[in-house]
Structure formats: C-alpha cells, structure tokens
Structure 1
Amino acid sequence: MPKQFTLNKKERLKKTKLIEHLFQSGKKITAFPLRMHYLFPEQADAPLQAAFSASKKNFKRSHERNLIKRKLREAYRLQKLPLQTEIAGKNQPLILFFVYNGKEKPPYELIAAKMQELLNKMLLIVQAHEADTPNT
C-alpha cells in the first residue's frame, strides 16, 4: 500500500522561475492568517507541488519562521489527499504557495483549520477549472 500522508521531494515547489511565474500570473485565495497562491502551469515536475513561507518582517528570528513553516507543511501533508486524488487523474498540474500573514505565532489547530478551509476552496476551483477546460 502506498504511503498517502507524505510530502516528498518531487511535491515541493523549488524552481525559482516557476515561483516567479506563479506570483506574476497566478491567483490567490485568503483565509486569514493564511494566503494561498495557485497556478495551473503548462508543465511541472509533479501533478501537485507546494511551497511554504512565513514573513521575515513579522518574525525576525529564523527559528520562529521555521516553526510556522513546519506547522504549515504538517497541516498540508495531512489534508492534501482529496485535492491530490482530484488532480491525479487530470493532465493539468497545479502549483501552490502558502504564506502565513499573521503577526503572532499561531497554534497548530488554527493553521490546520485554515488549511482545511483553503484546500476545500481549492478543490472547488479545480473542479470548476476542469469543467471549463476542453478535452483534447
């Protein structure tokens, strides 16, 4: 049985050009204190890729930013399965970039709830996107 709650190297968004393209021409969804940028690119290394960030402006110390990013990755890793299964059958990749915008360190429960809200919204967008995309 394959491991379903993983976040392996191929699923992490690291290419600078792809991230720049995401911020230039992608769209965003907000569920404060999280913001998710998304894009359906022409090509990607994996069907679903994600990256995570916390503001250096709000969190000066790196260990605080790293803690927030760990919580974001964990919440995403545990809740991505419905979105991943929806994307898996399609030939259209999806890239996501999660940004934490809050000013204080959040508890994991808040991040998990907001992540679930964002992923549910994204699932509806993916279903609408596939209805709009003509089959070729």
Structure 2
Amino acid sequence: MTDRRYTLSKNERLCGKKNIQELFNEGSSFYFFPFKVYYSFNKNKTEGDHCALFTVPKRLFSKAVDRNLLKRKIKEAYRLNKPQFYNIPTSRPINIAYIYTARKMLNYSDIESSMIRCQKKLADNILNAQNDEEKN
C-alpha cells in the first residue's frame, strides 16, 4: 500500500445510505471556501482506503450539466492530490464528504488549490483528534 496510483476506485468512494448518514450525524466538520468538509473515522473497518463523497447542491446549480462538471473537477483535484493526503498515519480509514458551497462555478485551478489547502487542514484536524484520543 505504499505505492499509490492516481486513481479513484469504487472502494475509495463513500457509498451506502447508512455510511453517509453516520458521517453527517456523527462526524466533525469545517468550512474552507468553496468546500464544507465532513469527516469521521470509519467504525466498521480497521484497514483499507479512505472513502470520499463529492456533492454539489441542486439549489445552487439547477442544471445537472453544471453539477456534473463541478463534481468532475472536484474529483480530479482530489484524485491528483490524494497521495500527499494518504501519507498521514491513521489508526482507521476516514470517511470524508466534500460539499461545494460557492454560488458560482470556479475554474479548475482555483478548485485544486482549495482542495490542497483543505486536505492540509483536514490532516491537521485528524492528527489533533488522534492525539486527543491517545491522551484519553
């Protein structure tokens, strides 16, 4: 698992109503423009890949074409920058949801730079949470 490929496979996507509901109900969150990020440790698995969910609200972008274009840009930014994120030592896999909150479409370079900074902030939050768990 040390050699990561730049792919986004099915087992790296967050699926299932129960898992998604658990993430939004019990997970932590933070806001980093243009993303609202929810994250939690996966209680069901002890090993494996982190799972990610990408959403663009229908009330912000009523046309499916626009929503799909934004989701493709977000997934691409995540896929190309996830090897740095996977270097974080964690005890369990993490479920992550990225919700796009900007009211206008951003270009890919803006989304990618925000994704990189967002992943750094998420890594800091995860390391802090793990340190708090170890102290207790």
- The answer as to 2:95 corresponding to 1:128 is no
2:77, 2:85 → 1: CA distance? 14
The amino acid across from 1:124 in the alignment is D
Deviating runs (4+, > 6 A) in structure 1? none
1:33, 1:8 → 2: CA distance? 24
The amino acid across from 1:49 in the alignment is C
How far off is 1:95 after superposition?
0.5
Residues 1-136 of structure 1 correspond to what in structure 2 (within 5 A)? 2-44=3-45, 46-87=48-89, 90-134=90-134
2:71, 2:8 → 1: CA distance? 13
The amino acid across from 1:42 in the alignment is K
For the aligned residues, what is the CA RMSD? 1.9
**Percent of matched pairs sharing the same residue:** 29
Structure 1's unaligned 5+ residue stretches are none
TM-score by length of 2: 0.88
1:11, 1:46 → 2: CA distance? 9
Structure 2's unaligned 5+ residue stretches are none
Q: Is the 8 A contact 1:12 1:49 kept in 2?
A: yes
The total of aligned residue pairs comes to 133
How far off is 1:102 after superposition?
1.1
